[in-house]
Amino acid sequence: MRALAPRAGIDFSSNDYLGLGASSELRSAIAAALQRGVAVGAGGSRMLRGNDPEHEALEASAAAYFGAEAALFFGGGFIANTAIFSTLPQRGDVIFYDERIHASAHDGMRASKAVAVAVLHNDVQAFENAITAWRQAGGKGRPWIAVESLYSMDGDRAPLPELSEIANRHDAMLVIDEAHATGVYGLNGRGLASAIEGQPNIVSLHTCGKALGVSGALVLCSRVLRDFLVNRARPFIYATAPSPLIAAGVRAALHLSETQPERRERLQKMIAMTSQMLPQMCGVTASGSQIQPIVVGSDMRAVRLASAMQAHGFDIRAVRPPTVPEGTARLRISLTLNATEAEVERMIATLAKELQRMPV
C-alpha cells in the first residue's frame, strides 16, 4: 500500500534538478511580486474573473522564451497533459503513443474522441509502420505522435529528429512532453525539442515544478490550437486559475534558467561523473541523464535497497509496478544541485556496497 513519507536525507529523489525550488533568487522574486501587489489566489476560472495580468505576462514570456507562437498556463503537468489529449485529437484521428509515456497522457487519451495505439518504446520504425498500416487500412483522420523527450523512469531520450521527420511526412501532429528536459537541456534550458519548437505541427508541454522549481505547466503551440484549448479543454475551462503569484514565480524561473547557465553546467558535470562511476563501481549502465534507474527486478529487493540507502542518509525511493513494467522494480536516482559532488560520490560508493550485500 502506498503511504506518504516525509522528506529526510540528502535529495536524490526530487525533480528539482537545478536546485531552484528553495533558492534565494526565487524567494526574492516571490517577495518582490507580493510587494508589488500580485494576488496569491486567482479567485475563479480564467474564463470568469480569474484571468490575471500575471498569467498573460507569463504566457507572452514563455512563448518568446521557447520560440512558439503561443503558450497557455495550467495548474500542473497532469492537468495540462489531460487537456491536450482529451481536447485536441478529434474523432477519426489516431494517437500513436510511446508505451512508456506519462500516466497523465493515458488519462487524457481515455477521455479523447480519438483512438489510441501503443507503440514500442523509442522505436522509430514502429511509429512509421503503425501510421502506414493505419493509412493503408483506410484511416482518414490525422495521426498524432505522442512522446516524452526525456523519459521519467528510464532517463533515456526520444529520437525527436526522426519522429519529427515522420510527422512531417505523414501530416501528423507531434506532442512532446518536455517535463524532465525543461531547464536542463537545450539552448538556455529550452528543452530537447528546442530545435523544432514552434513548428505548426508541434505541441509541447513544459512543466514548471521540476527544474524550474515552482509549479504549473505551459503548453506551447500555435495560436489556433491555444484558442481551441481555451474554448474546448474542460480541465482549463472549469478549473480555478493557477495562482497569479505562482505565475510570477515561473516567469522569474524562466529568467533564471536563461541567465544562470552555470546551474546546467554544474548538473552536467555531475551527470558525467555519475555516468563514469556507476558502471565501474556498481555494474550499472548509465542513462547519461540526471535520471538514473537502478533496475533490480523484484519489488522486495528494490524496497530493501531503498530502505538501506535511506538509513545511510540518502533520500532514494523504490519505484515498483504498475508505475514501471513487471519485473523492473528499481531505485530511481535523481541528480540535483541539492546535493554536492562529494555527496554523489559517497552515495555511489554506498550503493555499490549495498548491491553486493543484497545480491539477486
Q: How many CA atoms lie within 13 A of 283 on its CB side?
A: 7
Instruction: List the catalytic residue out of 55, 170, 206, 210.
Output: 210
* Contacts by residues 26-32 (CB-CB < 8 Å, ≥ 24 positions apart): 26/213, 26/214, 26/249, 26/252, 26/253, 26/256, 29/248, 29/249, 29/252, 29/253, 30/245, 30/248, 30/249, 30/252
**Among residues 23, 180, 197, 287, which one is catalytic?**
180
Active-site position among 177, 197, 315, 354? 177
d(CA 196, CA 67): 9
> Is residue 180 among the annotated active site residues?
yes
Angle (CA) 291-292-296 rounded to 5° is 140
Annotated catalytic, 15? yes
Phi/psi of residue 223, nearest 5 degrees = -65, -35
Per-residue pLDDT of the chain (360 residues), as tens digits, is 677 878 889 999 999 999 999 999 999 999 999 999 999 999 999 999 999 999 999 999 999 999 999 999 999 999 999 999 999 999 999 999 999 999 999 999 999 999 999 999 999 999 999 999 999 999 999 999 999 999 999 999 999 999 999 999 999 999 999 999 999 999 999 999 999 999 999 999 999 999 999 999 999 999 999 999 999 999 999 999 999 999 999 999 999 999 999 999 999 999 999 999 999 999 999 999 999 999 998 889 999 999 999 999 999 999 988 888 888 899 999 999 999 999 999 999 999 999 988 776
Catalytic residue among 23, 152, 201, 289: 152
C-alpha cell, 29 = 522574486
Q: Which is catalytic among the residues 13, 15, 23, 334?
A: 15
B/e letters for 319-336, b = 16+ CB within 10 Å, e = fewer, are bbeeebeeebbbbbbbbb
Q: Which amino acid is at 300?
A: M
- Please enumerate in sequence order all residues whose Cβ is within 8 A of that of 64, keeping only pairs 6 or more positions apart, or say none: none
Q: State yes or no: is 171 an active-site residue.
A: no
Of 328, 326, 333, 329, give the one whose Cα is nearest residue 352.
333
What residue type is assigned to position 273 of the chain?
Answer: M
Long-range pairs for 319-326: beta carbons < 8 A, 24 or more residues apart: 319/153, 319/293, 323/103, 323/153, 324/153
Predicted model pTM: 0.95
Q: Which of 62, 52, 30, 47 has the alpha carbon at shortest distance from 218?
A: 62
| Cα dist from 252 to 42, 97, 255, 293, whole Å | 19, 33, 5, 31
The residue to which cell 483506410 is assigned: 138
Q: Is the dihedral of CA 94, 99, 105, 108 positive or negative?
A: positive
Residue 307: per-residue pLDDT: 94
Cα torsion 194, 236, 324, 281: sign: positive
Given 54, 148, 178, 354, the catalytic residue: 148
pLDDT score, position 358: 76
Residues 6 or more apart whose CB falls under 8 angstroms from that of 322 comprise none
- What is the model's pLDDT at position 52? 97
Question: Would you call 16 a catalytic residue per the annotation?
Answer: no
- Per the annotation, the verdict on 315 as an active-site residue is no
> Which domains can be identified in the chain, with CATH numbers?
10-21+261-357 (3.90.1150.10), 38-259 (3.40.640.10)
pLDDT of residue 23: 96
Cβ burial of 106 (10 Å; 0-12, 13-18, 19+) is middle
Query: What is the layout of strands, in order, in the sheet containing 291-297?
Result: 291-297, 329-334, 317-319
Catalytic: which of 102, 178, 243, 334?
102
Q: What span, in angstroms and rounded, lies between the C-alpha atoms of 193 and 160?
A: 7
Write the CB contacts of 287 (distance below 8 Å, at least 6 apart in sequence).
154, 155, 156, 275, 293
What are the residues whose beta carbons fall under 8 Å from the beta carbon of 83, sequence distance 6 or more?
74, 108, 219, 229, 233, 234, 235, 236
Question: Nearest to residue 155, comparing CAs of 15, 276, 9?
Answer: 15
